[in-house]
Every structure is written in structure tokens, then in C-alpha cells.
Amino acid sequence: MSDIWYIGTWRVCFRRGSIKRRWQALSTSKSVDSRLLDVLRTLVEHSGERVSTETLLERAWPDRVVSRDSVTTAIYQLRQLLEDSAEHPKYIRSEARRGYRLVANTRQATVLRRSHVAAAAAPIMLAVMAYASAHLIHTEDVPSVYVEPLINFVESPVQEPLFTAVENTLLSELIQRVPGGIRATDDGVRLKLQSMVVACDLGPALVVRLLDTKTDAFVWSNSYNLEEAAKNTEGPTLVVEAATDIGRAIAASL
């Protein structure tokens, strides 16, 4: 079972034993008792199905002999944690003398690790190297740029297709707009572009920033809300908009 799940409006990390509201910063996470996590994990594994009290006892207290009241107490505490109620349940519904049922929508989180990003970027970097060899303008007056791989610093709720689309097209858009061309390594470049996905209050965001390697200072940065971009069906796509902004920032640094 995955470590991270979205349960209704909540994000639960079973490995870390934490829970927080979706889209809120990771710093707002609350710690959850391991027994409660075991009960919740069992309910998630059988989402939409009735789970008997006996099953919950076996899963959460395998090494102890406890009464059914322990499950009742755990369900009460989980409802408090999820801001749920027994009278009008949005998360956990009681079924008298039969068990409990998780009724909230649940889905497994997509987590992209740094190694996955690097592997996905490898074919693109080869193409960029070939393009750079053929088209790079060799002049000290025009800055060349090294684009670091896109990194996901947190377990972002961004849908994988959207993240992959950003990953796979940003470089190809940039080589059409960057004045001095894209270099395949950071050797001798004047500018370096860093991009990352971070969690913000308004949803996941793509943050890009331009670093002057000579002064070690950031000369430009911007952020783009990925959730809003996914809804936008008019105008330029997020990647085109970001690449255009980056090209202008580089040109302004000449």
C-alpha cells in the first residue's frame, strides 16, 4: 500500500504518521498515533466496504488482547482528527454491531522522486545536446544557459500527466526562445535555470529562477500555479508562458 493517500480533503502520510489538509503547507501536518493509523489504513484498504470490528482489532492490536471499546475509541478519535461526525458522517460511517465503512473519496498520491525525474529527462537532454552542438551561438556577448532537471521537492498533488508534460516540453520550448542557446552541461555557462515543484496554499506551483553563475545571485524568478494552468483552456499553455518569460529574462540580462 502506498505511503501517501488523499482522503476527502485530507492528505495522510502513513510512513511519517502525519495528516494535513490538502494544499496546505507540510508544516501544518499533525502527528497521528500509530494505532489510529492502523485503523485508518485498514479502512482505506477496504474503502467503500464494511470493515468488521474484529478485523480492526486484529490489524491495529495484533499483539494485545483488548475489548471492542478500543475500536470505538479509535473511531471517535479519527472522527475528531478528520473533523467528522457520527450523526452526519462524511468520512467514517458506523454500521450498528457490524463495523465501519470509509465513505469519503480516496486516491493514492502520485509521488515523483528525484531519480525518476532524472531518468525521464535523460532522452530530452540527449536531444538538447545534439541541438546545442548544431545551433549554439559561440560568442561571449550572448549568455548560454544550463537548465537543471525539474525537481519535485515535496510530494506534490499534481497529476502525473501534467507534471510529465511540463517536464518533457519545457526544454524543447526553451531552445526556441533562449538567446544564447542551451548547454548540456554547466561548464562555463553564464546563467543557470532552476525549476521545481513546491506546495503552496493555493495549490502546487512551478517555481523557476535564473542564477547568474558569475555573481552567484538570482537575477529573476517567477512562479506558476499548476492547478490553475490545468483548468486554463484559452491562451498559451503554462510551459509556453514560462519559456517566454524565461527568454525575456535572459535577453534582459544582456
Q: What is the pLDDT of residue 141?
A: 45
Q: What is the pLDDT of residues 81-136, one digit of tens each?
A: 999 999 999 999 998 888 999 999 898 875 544 444 445 445 544 554 454 444 44
- CB-based contact 87:73 (threshold 8 Å): no
The per-residue pLDDT for 182 is 74
- Bridge partners of 94, per DSSP, are 100
Q: What percentage of the chain exceeds 90 in pLDDT?
A: 29
Strand 10-13 versus strand 4-7 pairing type: antiparallel
Helix (H, G, I), strand (E, B) or coil at 183: strand
Q: Residue 68's pLDDT is what?
A: 87
Lowest-confidence region among 42-51, 127-136, 201-210: 127-136
Average pLDDT, stretch 3-25? 86
Q: Does residue 121 or residue 19 have the better pLDDT?
A: 19
Looking at residue 252, its pLDDT comes to 79
The pLDDT score that the predictor gives to residue 32 is 92
pLDDT at 116: 46
Q: Which residues pair with 21 in a beta bridge?
A: 10
Q: Among candidates 196, 216, 212, 194, which has minimal Cα distance to 250? A: 212
Q: How confident is the model at residue 45 (pLDDT cuts 50, 70, 90)?
A: very high
* Residue 56 CB contacts under 8 Å (≥ 6 apart), including other chains: 39, 42, 43, 71, 74, 99, 100
What residue type is assigned to position 1 of the chain? M
| Beta strands at 151-152 and 191-200: parallel, antiparallel or unpaired | parallel
- Over residues 237-254, the pLDDT tens digits come to 777 888 888 888 887 776
Could you give the residue ranges of the DSSP H alpha helices within 15-159?
A: 34-45, 53-60, 68-82, 114-135
**CATH architecture under which domain 114-252 falls:** 3-Layer(aba) Sandwich (3.40)
Position of cell 502513513?
14
The structural domains of the chain, with segments of one domain joined by +, span 4-108, 114-252
Q: What is the pLDDT of residue 162?
A: 60
Beta-carbon count within 10 A of 99 CB: 20
Provide, rounded to the nearest whole percent, the portion of the chain with pLDDT above 70: 71
| Per-residue confidence (pLDDT) for residue 140, from 0 to 100 | 44
Give dist(CA 244, CA 155) in Å, integer: 27
pLDDT digits (tens, 9 = 90+) for 138-188: 434 455 788 887 776 655 454 555 666 676 677 777 777 765 667 766 777
Calculate the average pLDDT of the chain.
77
The pLDDT, as a whole number, for residue 145 is 83
CA proximity to 10, closest of 77, 82, 100, 94: 82
What are the start-end ranges of the H helices in 143-194? 160-174
Q: Under CATH, which number does the domain 4-108 receive?
A: 1.10.10.10
